[in-house]
Amino acid sequence: MNEHPRHRLTSEGIRLHEPADFAGMHKAGALAARILDEIIPHVVPGQTTEELDRIITQMVEDAGATSATIGYKGYKHGSCISINHVVCHGIPSQKKLKDGDILNIDVTVIVDGWFGDTSRMFVAGKMNRKAERLVQVTHDALMLGIEAVKPGNTFGDIGHAIQSYVEGHRMSVVRDFCGHGLGRVFHAPPNVLHYGRAGTGPVLEEGMFFTIEPMVNLGRPETKILADDWTAVTRDKSLSAQFEHSIGVTADGAEIFTLSPGGRFHPTFSV
């Protein structure tokens, strides 16, 4: 028992939020998702990722919100943009997108103190079939992970749902990065692993807020960090994809805070 119901923590240090807190997360999540919807027409061959980041940062400012990534551990940009074999934390640069490039754009905003963190895959021009398959499997894996979310299930159930699906398609789940608790903070307990065994790990409880953000590779799961200290790439240079939602555990399942307002959650709908 805890005498301060507004500050309930599990023994694993996972915060249990109040019903009223869902509205704050919904607002932050909706902004992050709308920004990704609105960046779609700008993702074209010849575009630089620096320009995409500039547009995103402007949209955050126009909404009266704050970017969570600018100044975070020395990071200087309003988004991470990860192209092809970049797994995550790609730094916006003057590099131009080429026809057929697939890219993940990850945006985290703060609205009234609440964090909304989401990422999706985009394509510049036309996506080839191998890339399309990877993107589809990665999105399906995220949604299957979310389907495993309800009070009484465990974090291991989420990881197991994702891993078994991905490996069933002979792709691999990245182990070096994970999802995370969030809320009034960016990164909080627990580490949300995208692999694991059913029935293991902390038990899910109503009021937990966290991200699920599986990274899936066409080749092997190993990654390495480039000399810029941020960019994570696949060691075997194989193509990588990622989708991320921020969610809250409800009485009987999950609320997704970062659903696309325009239903444009997948590059197939990015035209």
Judged by the rule CB under 6 A, the positions of this chain that interact with ligand MF3 are 69, 72-73, 75, 80, 89, 106, 108, 117, 211, 213, 244
CB of 35 to ligand MF3, least distance (A): 13
For the stretch 37-40, contacts whose Cβ atoms lie closer than 8 Å and that sit 24 or more positions apart, written own/partner, are 37/260, 37/261, 37/262, 37/264, 39/105, 39/122, 40/122, 40/264, 40/270
Tokens of 104: 């993940």
- Looking at the Cβ atoms of 95 and 133, the one nearer to ligand MF3 is 95
Task: Choose the stretch contacting Co ion; rule: CB under 5 A; options: 127-135, 137-145, 149-157, 244-252.
Answer: 244-252
d(CA 96, CA 118): 23
- Looking at the Cβ atoms of 165 and 210, the one nearer to Co ion is 210
Q: Restricting to residues 95-124, name those near Co ion by CB under 5 A.
A: 106, 117, 119
Longest dimension (CA), the chain: 58
Name which of ligand MF3, Co ion, none residue 89 binds, using a CB cut-off of 5 to 8 Å depending on partner kind: ligand MF3
SS3 150: coil
Tokens of 218: 């066409």
- Looking at the Cβ atoms of 234 and 246, the one nearer to ligand MF3 is 246
SS3 46: coil
Name which of ligand MF3, Co ion, none residue 104 binds, using a CB cut-off of 5 to 8 Å depending on partner kind: none
Tokens of 196: 């694991």
Name which of Co ion, ligand MF3, none residue 157 binds, using a CB cut-off of 5 to 8 Å depending on partner kind: none
Q: Quick one: CA dihedral 88, 193, 141, 221, positive or negative?
A: positive
- Looking at the Cβ atoms of 4 and 73, the one nearer to ligand MF3 is 73
d(CA 21, CA 197): 30
Task: Choose the stretch contacting Co ion; rule: CB under 5 A; options: 42-50, 82-90, 120-128, 206-214.
Answer: 206-214
The reply to whether 21 sits near Co ion by the rule CB under 5 A is no
**Pairing of the two strands 254-256 and 245-249:** antiparallel
CB of 108 to ligand MF3, least distance (A): 4
CB of 170 to ligand MF3, least distance (A): 26
Q: Which residues bind Co ion (CB under 5 A)?
A: 106, 117, 119, 211, 244
